[in-house]
Amino acid sequence: MNAALPPPEGFAVGHWTDDDARTGCTVVIAPVGTRGGIEVRGGGTGTREVEGLAPLANAEGPTAVLFTGGSAFGLAAADGVIRWLEERGLGRPTPVGVIPLVSTAVVFDLAAAAPGRRPGPDQGYAACEAAAGGVPARGRVGAGAGAAVGKVLGRERATLSGVGYAATRLPGGETVAAIAVANAVGDVLGEDGQVLGGPHGERGELLRSAELIRDMPEPPSPAVRAGESTTLVCVCTDAALDKRGCGIVARIAGAGIARAVDPAFTPFDGDVAFCLASGAALPPAPGPAASWWLTVLGTAAATVTAAAIRDAVREAA
């Protein structure tokens, strides 16, 4: 994995961060003509404008993907992203003008944020103003400003997290990159399977949530509540993928979440993986070659997804 390898050409990432309130939002602006897919695995998701990424929906892909803090309140930040895109003529063409499609997913950071302080339309607009190509800023920025992982013993004993990034280049020259916000109830595991970010014991030592949960006959106090944790991932590639292929790669990328987060996809998490593909070439015709191509891209997507989640914890430190 290479954290210094930028996303594919044409993708721009921007953050807006409230350092005092520990909240923010992160936007991924896609090149014109990008296709998109989504995989929803968590039990407590908060989303907006994601139905258009379903395989049977007629929109090919989003104009932008927004990750935002503020839980359901933060969904309003998408209004600012829409305004910014409309001003620049970016969106789905219609007889009355372009309509930007901004697929949005939220993290719950209200426990970290100041009361009433959460991203709104102006903050979403500001994230777009800050968007640029190249390797994005990581750590406690944007939608990861108030993130933490390993919350089974309560947020005060969790590990701080944030936004992470990783990328790889395939032999054919295609780039596969992932931007992740790690705010899971579970631990983030390193490449060796050891706990990289998790709950802390009485002496500050890292504990393993899977072992703690196994030995808990009832929910811990303070209780872990559904919908207050999540891992969000956006895979960006310049590979040749149609909309169906994006959905398949997003699904395989979910394996990267499960590889780096333990436990993952719980009723307490809102795990979502997006895949955006900007490649101009046509994907292989249906058949063994197409299936293998999807397997290659999905495998790379899962690998960079796991690396980006780990990077989110390392950069937050």
Q: How confident is the model at residue 19 (pLDDT cuts 50, 70, 90)?
A: confident
Instruction: State the average pLDDT over residues 145-167.
Output: 93
Within-domain flag for 2: no
The pLDDT of residue 113: 63
Q: Which pair of structure tokens corresponds to residue 193?
A: 């399977």
Q: What is the pLDDT of residues 169-197, one digit of tens each?
A: 999 999 999 999 999 999 999 999 999 99
Within-domain flag for 6: no
The pLDDT of residue 247: 95
Q: How confident is the model at residue 150 (pLDDT cuts 50, 70, 90)?
A: very high
Residues in the chain: 317
Contacts (Cβ under 8 Å, ≥6 apart) of 222: 154
| pLDDT above 70: percentage of residues in the chain | 95
The CATH number of whichever domain residue 156 belongs to comes to 3.60.70.12
Within-domain flag for 5: no
Within-domain flag for 161: yes
Q: Cβ of 18: how many Cβ atoms within 10 Å? A: 19
Q: How confident is the model at residue 43 (pLDDT cuts 50, 70, 90)?
A: confident
Helix (H) or strand (E) holding 255: helix 243-260
Lowest mean pLDDT among 219-223, 267-271, 290-294, 295-299: 219-223
Q: What is the pLDDT of residues 196-208, one digit of tens each?
A: 999 999 898 999 9
Question: Is residue 270 scored above 90 in pLDDT?
Answer: no
The pLDDT of residue 55: 83
Q: Which domain holds residue 37?
A: 12-316
Q: What is the pLDDT of residues 75-119, one digit of tens each?
A: 999 999 999 999 999 999 889 889 999 999 999 888 766 677 889
DSSP assignment of 270-282: --EEEEEE---SP
Compute the distance between CA of residue 93 and CA of residue 247 in angstroms, rounded to an integer: 23
Contacts (Cβ under 8 Å, ≥6 apart) of 20: 114, 117
Compute the distance between CA of residue 3 and CA of residue 276 in angstroms, rounded to an integer: 19
CA 41 to chain centre: 12
Closest CA relative to residue 176, chosen from 107, 112, 222, 233: 233
Across all residues in the chain, what is the average pLDDT?
91
Q: How confident is the model at residue 267 (pLDDT cuts 50, 70, 90)?
A: confident
The pLDDT of residue 219: 72
Within-domain flag for 1: no
The pLDDT of residue 174: 94
Q: What is the pLDDT of residues 216-234, one digit of tens each?
A: 877 776 666 665 789 999 9
Pairing of strands 230-237, 261-262: unpaired
Within-domain flag for 3: no
Within-domain flag for 243: yes
Question: Is residue 214 scored above 70 in pLDDT?
Answer: yes
Instruction: State the average pLDDT over residues 254-267.
Output: 94
The pLDDT of residue 58: 81
Q: What is the torsion angle, in degrees rounded to the nearest 10, for the CA atoms of residue 123, residue 273, residue 177 and residue 62?
A: -60
Instruction: State the average pLDDT over residues 6-14.
Output: 94
Angle at 161 between CA 305 and CA 144, to 5 degrees: 80
Domain tally for the chain?
A: 1
Within-domain flag for 131: yes
b/e sequence 220-259, b meaning 16+ C-beta within 10 Å: eeeebebbbbbbbbbbbbbbbbbbbbbbbbbbbbbbbbbb
The pLDDT of residue 2: 66
